[in-house]
Structure formats: structure tokens, C-alpha cells
Amino acid sequence: MVNEQGVEVAATDILDKCSEARVFAFDGKMGAGKTTFIKCLCEAMGTEDVVNSPTFAIVNVYEINANRHPDEFRGRPAGYSLEAKEEVYHFDCYRIKDLREAMDMGTEEYLYSGNYCFIEWAEMIEPLLPEDTVWVKIEVEENGERSLSFDA
């Protein structure tokens, strides 16, 4: 169970347990807290950008500071700066009509960029998702708390 106080801990936990993953698909009903959880993930990664739902834009781009997670940046090419900014792509696929629309907007380029992709309503583009996509399920319990599970 994840309550409001535990969401930051859960965000850090999922990033630690899925440290190799870059694409995360979020499954939950409208209002389950997908955007709120993604906001916590981005904040844990050091973004200073405003994180909100990209409902009409379909994808928002946030910068994260690479030096927030130095272990992830071992083995980078010589001269790679830990001060470098990396991008996180936050999708809301609720309004995607079909796969062709997703492909036309370059979704595959985002998904295979090596950057983090957090996708709400990912079932709309499921055939495009990489095999190693981490599925995160958020359910609202009767008492209002959230139940969070993921496959890692």
C-alpha cells in the first residue's frame, strides 16, 4: 500500500529496483495517481521542471541532472560530463487514436532513445513498447490508499 507520505519512497524504490529499465508503462484507472507518481519519479531523478499531465501535448520533456544517479553513468564515453542534462519523456496516450498516429509523432524514437520514458495509458501503444518495458499498476483501494505493483 502506498499513501501520500509513501509515494516518494515508492518512487525511489522502483528506480532502485529497476535501475536498468528505461521504459515504464503505467496502468491504472482515471484518477488513480499515475501523473502524481510520475511527478515523484521525476523529482527523485532531480528534475526542476514542472511535471504535469501531457494530455493534450501527448508528450512532455523534462530535464534531469545526470549527477543525481552517478552509478547509472559508469561506462559512458570518455569526456562524458556528469553535469550533463538528460531527458525524460512523459507520455499520455489517452487521446491516441491508433498506432499510426503514435508512429507519426515519432514515439519509437523516444522509446528506443535510451532516455527514461514514463507512459500513461500505455495500452494504447503496447505493440510499440520494448520487450523490457516495466509495467506499473496503480489501484485505488476503498480507503483511498494506492496499491502499487510492478514487474521488474
Say what the pLDDT of residue 93 is: 95
How far apart CA 70 and CA 124 sit, in angstroms, is 34
- Cβ distance 19 to 45 under 8 Å? no
Is the pLDDT at 6 greater than 80, yes or no?
Answer: no
Say what the pLDDT of residue 90 is: 96
Mean pLDDT of the chain: 84
Map residue 117 onto helix, strand or coil: strand
Which region among 42-51, 59-68, 125-134 has the lowest average model confidence (pLDDT)? Answer: 59-68
Say what the pLDDT of residue 80 is: 45
Q: How confident is the model at residue 136 (pLDDT cuts 50, 70, 90)?
A: very high
C-alpha closest to that of 128 among 149, 109, 151, 114 = 109
Q: Angle formed by the axes of helices 34-44 and 7-17, to 10°?
A: 70
Is the pLDDT at 125 greater than 90, yes or no?
Answer: yes
Q: How confident is the model at residue 52 (pLDDT cuts 50, 70, 90)?
A: confident
Say what the pLDDT of residue 12 is: 86
Q: Which residues of 8-33 are buried (b: 16+ CB within 10 A; e: fewer)?
A: eebbeebbeebeebbbbbbbbeeebb
Map residue 1 onto helix, strand or coil: coil
Model-level pTM?
A: 0.82
